[in-house]
Amino acid sequence: MATSSSGVSELYTSVVSDLVPYYMDAVLLPNQQIILNSMSIEGSSGNNVRWPLTNAYVNAGTVTEGASIATAATSDFDPTEANVTVTKKGVATDVNEEALEDGGIELVRRAVLDRLAGGLAQATDEAGLAVAKAGATLTDTGEGGANSDFTTNFVMSPEALGYASKREPMVKVWYNPDTDVHEFRGTVRNGFAALRGNFINPITCHSTIGTGAANLVAVAKAVAQLRGENAPTDFGSGMYVSIIDPSFEYEINEQVSLAGGSAIGSLSEVGNRALMQGLIGQAAGVMFFRSNNLPDAA
C-alpha cells in the first residue's frame, strides 16, 4: 500500500478490521434463519461446492410372517446433488487526499465502509434471490405478473437454498499520485444454489405501492403448498421464511390493519442488524423480512 498521507494508514487499518462486520450487518441472505445450508470453502482448492440431496423414501409395507421384507417396500438410497459455483463480486470507491485533510478520518471511514460493505451486500442478496426465482418450481400464488412492473416475492423453507463462501469481504488500497487519490477496492467470492425448487413458492405483486392485489391470502396459499411438499420449517420458530418488497408489505399491512390485528415477531433469536431491520412481523405460518433486492417478474 503506497500512500502520501499519514491519515490513510489509519483509515485503511480501520476499514480492513470493520468491513466484514459492516457487510454482515447489511446482507440478509447468508444467515442461518434464512439459509440453513451454508458452507465456507475459504482456504481450500476449487470454486465449487456440491450439496448431496437425498431422494424420496418409500413407506413401509405390510409383511407376511416369513416373507421377504424387500417385496413389501424397497427404499433405495439414491441421492442427487446441487452445485454452488462461487463468483467474484467487486466494488470500488476513491478517496481524494483533500477528503482526508478536510473531512475528518471518522467521516471518511464511515462513508468508505458504507459504500464497500453495502455494495457487496446488495450484490450478494440480489444474486441469491435471483437463484431463488430461477429455481422455484411451485405455482405462483400471487398476481401472476410476468413483466418488470411486478416483483417476485418468496415464501420458502430454510432448506431451499445453499450458500457457499470462498472469500470473506476484503479490501485493498493503493495511491494514485497523478490524481492524488486513494483507491479502495472491495471484493467477495460467494454463490448460491436452489437445492429444492419445490421448497420455494414465488408470489408476484405489482411493484407500485398501493396498486398490488396480492395479500396475506397469497402467503397462506404458499404455506399450504410448502406443507404439501413436506418442506421443513425453521426448527426454532416452526415457521417458513418470507422475503417481500415494500409494495407487498403495504398490501399485507393494509389487510392486517383492516382486520384490526397485528403480529410482530420477537427479535430475540435474530443474529444481525440486517435481520432486525428487515424483520417486519409474522403471520400465516411465516416470518417476514423486507428487502429491496428482490428480482422483478420479467
pTM above 0.85, yes or no: no
How confident is the model at residue 135, as a pLDDT? 96
> Does residue 128 belong to any structural domain of this protein?
yes
pLDDT > 70 fraction of the chain, expressed in percent and rounded? 88
38 beta partners? 163
Tell me: the pLDDT tens digits for 200-216? Answer: 999 999 999 999 998 88
- Please say if the pLDDT value at position 79 is more than 80: no
> Does residue 242 belong to any structural domain of this protein?
yes
Which residue range is the domain that position 176 belongs to? 6-53+84-290
> Does residue 59 belong to any structural domain of this protein?
no
- Please say if the pLDDT value at position 156 is more than 70: yes
> Does residue 240 belong to any structural domain of this protein?
yes
> Does residue 58 belong to any structural domain of this protein?
no
> Where does the pLDDT of residue 59 fall: very low under 50, low under 70, confident under 90, or very high at 90 and above?
confident
Measured distance CA(52)–CA(86) in Å, rounded: 17
For residue 187, what are the contacts with CB-CB under 8 A and spacing of at least 6?
88, 89, 90, 91, 120, 167, 169, 170, 171
- Residue 190 near residue 164 (C-beta atoms within 8 A): yes
How many domains is the chain built from? 1
Tell me: the pLDDT tens digits for 271-291? Answer: 445 544 555 556 678 888 999
Measured distance CA(51)–CA(181) in Å, rounded: 44
Average model confidence (pLDDT) across the chain: 85
How confident is the model at residue 126, as a pLDDT? 96
> Does residue 66 belong to any structural domain of this protein?
no
How confident is the model at residue 241, as a pLDDT? 93
Please report, for the chain, how many H helices and E strands are present, in that order: 6, 11
> Does residue 62 belong to any structural domain of this protein?
no
- Please say if the pLDDT value at position 191 is more than 80: yes
> Does residue 78 belong to any structural domain of this protein?
no
pLDDT > 90 fraction of the chain, expressed in percent and rounded? 50
Which of 41-55, 97-111, 165-179: highest mean pLDDT?
A: 165-179
How confident is the model at residue 209, as a pLDDT? 94
For residue 133, what are the contacts with CB-CB under 8 A and spacing of at least 6?
152, 154, 202, 295
